[in-house]
């Protein structure tokens, strides 16, 4: 393993990409400590820390604690993810977006531009809702202890908050795009990853301190560690699992060369969508609480707080369904069985026992559906399981299933990209036997 890390820094391009990525992530973390004008960050931090089992605690987890400190990065990257969801949902039903999706790189560039415009709009709306929420929270906290959260409420504070939060989100979006372009790994996922890690490490030290002060907590902590190790192992196994469909290529004679004639396989991953369904579902589940901030002290706000708290049955059922939906939706975007069948047919390939063309496409679609469903249900159960543990008490939120899924998924994806760079230059990867590949099912 140490030799592999030395090899990573021997490759100039890979070394440059890794250092660039680390530099961007440091900039992101520094920005997460720059306070927003007009808000008592210390008071808000104390209040949010008491909301660890709610959506506010969840949102603060994804932005690396920036929301609790009322920093310029308080909204994080979630508005960008929400805009991406909207455009992907509109893609199959809007003819113009369908044409853009088929235009290759130029079409993707235009869709990315529209996503940026949508990010600005959504970030502005969420920033306004947050400013209204902070003002209402200021009066609530002030009534309790006489301390003012927002010293100068009003339209000026709202405009300043909208400008600050929206600008911060756009800057984070730019940082993520730069990581994807010039760094290593998916920039947006890595930004969420580093935000979770920033909350996870202090949480581990806090738990260790509690155990040191109260040795009676050792058995419970041991059980939590065992469960977490088992969950991480299961997530890794399911994430890397594949269903390999055998493919045979017929011999073709082109000039004096003979092509084909070999047997290979078509790898279909159980988790084709990766962590995207989790991130998308989480962005969707932020919507009810965001909507409630626009109507403080109303029936809508009361309903959302009652039925969409993290420990409520409705929240967990809807959350699980949304994860399964996005798993199928994103898999359908990534893998097109008809296109796979056509490409296979044009290259002289076929699945033994299946006729080329429609029969092959139907078979691939059937297999893909069968392996995606149990994988999606598994990840949905892992995501909602900690919420029930939170309801029972004694489990900190930063050890939740959603954070584990994101951490494991992003880490595996980044390691796989590093592994590819190493193998291209004839270096051993992180795992000498089998590398970071999927397992057969």
Q: pLDDT for 357-369, tens place per residue?
A: 888 889 999 999 8
Would you say 394 and 220 are in contact if contact means Cβ atoms under 8 Å apart?
Answer: yes
- Domain final residue pick, 165, 183, 201: 183
Kindly state whether residues 325 and 431 are assigned to the same domain. Answer: yes
- Residue 413 in this model has a pLDDT that exceeds 90: no
Q: Where are the alpha helices (DSSP H) in 32-182?
A: 41-49, 55-62, 78-90, 95-102, 105-145, 155-182
Q: 199-231 pLDDT, tens per residue?
A: 777 777 877 787 788 777 788 778 778 878 888
Kindly state whether residues 271 and 130 are assigned to the same domain. Answer: no
Q: Look at 40-54, 205-219, 276-290, 316-330 and tell me which has the smallest mean pLDDT.
A: 40-54
Question: Residue 395: what pLDDT?
Answer: 52
Kindly state whether residues 281 and 419 are assigned to the same domain. Answer: yes
Count: domains in the chain: 2
User: Which band of pLDDT confidence, cut at 50, 70 and 90, is reported for residue 439?
Assistant: very low
Q: To the nearest whole percent, how much of the chain has pLDDT over 90?
A: 12
Kindly state whether residues 78 and 131 are assigned to the same domain. Answer: yes
Q: 13-32 pLDDT, tens per residue?
A: 888 899 999 999 999 999 88
Residue 176 is part of which domain span?
32-183
Kindly state whether residues 159 and 225 are assigned to the same domain. Answer: no
Token readout for 16 is 């440059």
Question: Residue 230: what pLDDT?
Answer: 84
């Amino acid at each position: 393993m140490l030799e592999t890390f030395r090899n990573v820094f021997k490759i100039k391009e890979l070394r440059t990409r890794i250092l660039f990525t680390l530099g961007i992530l440091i900039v992101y973390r520094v920005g997460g400590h720059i306070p927003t004008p007009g808000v008592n960050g210390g008071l808000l931090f104390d209040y949010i820390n008491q909301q660890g089992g709610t959506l506010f605690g969840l949102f603060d987890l994804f932005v690396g604690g920036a929301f609790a400190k009322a920093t310029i990065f308080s909204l994080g990257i979630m508005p960008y993810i929400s805009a991406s969801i909207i455009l992907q949902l509109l893609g199959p039903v809007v003819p113009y977006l369908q044409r853009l999706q088929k235009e290759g790189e130029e079409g993707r560039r235009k869709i990315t531009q529209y996503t940026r415009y949508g990010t600005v709009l959504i970030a502005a709306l969420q920033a306004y809702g947050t400013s209204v929420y902070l003002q209402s929270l200021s009066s609530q906290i002030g009534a309790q202890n006489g301390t003012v959260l927002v010293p100068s409420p009003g339209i000026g504070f709202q405009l300043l908050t909208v400008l600050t939060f929206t600008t911060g989100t756009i800057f984070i979006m730019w940082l993520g795009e730069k990581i994807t372009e010039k760094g290593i790994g998916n920039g947006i996922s890595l930004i969420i990853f580093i935000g979770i890690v920033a909350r996870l490490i202090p949480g581990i030290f806090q738990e260790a301190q509690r155990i040191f002060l109260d040795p009676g907590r050792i058995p419970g902590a041991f059980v939590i560690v065992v469960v977490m190790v088992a969950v991480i192992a299961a997530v890794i196994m399911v994430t890397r699992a594949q269903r390999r469909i055998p493919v045979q290529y017929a011999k073709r004679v082109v000039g004096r060369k003979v092509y084909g004639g070999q047997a290979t396989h078509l790898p279909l991953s159980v988790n084709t969508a990766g962590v995207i369904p989790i991130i998308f579902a989480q962005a969707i589940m932020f919507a009810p609480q965001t909507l409630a901030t626009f109507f403080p002290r109303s029936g809508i706000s009361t309903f959302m707080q009652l039925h969409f708290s993290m420990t409520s049955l409705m929240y967990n059922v809807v959350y699980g369904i949304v994860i399964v939906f996005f798993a199928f939706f994103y898999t359908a975007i990534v893998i097109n069985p008809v296109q796979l069948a056509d490409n296979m047919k044009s290259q002289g390939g076929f699945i033994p026992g299946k006729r080329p063309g429609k029969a092959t496409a139907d078979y691939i679609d059937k297999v893909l559906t069968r392996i995606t469903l149990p994988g999606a249900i598994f990840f949905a159960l892992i995501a909602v399981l900690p919420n029930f543990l939170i309801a029972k008490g004694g489990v900190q939120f930063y050890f939740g299933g959603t954070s584990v899924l994101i951490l494991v998924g992003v880490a595996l994806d980044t390691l796989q990209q590093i592994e590819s760079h190493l193998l291209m230059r004839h270096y051993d990867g992180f795992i000498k036997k089998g590398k970071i590949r999927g397992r057969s099912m």
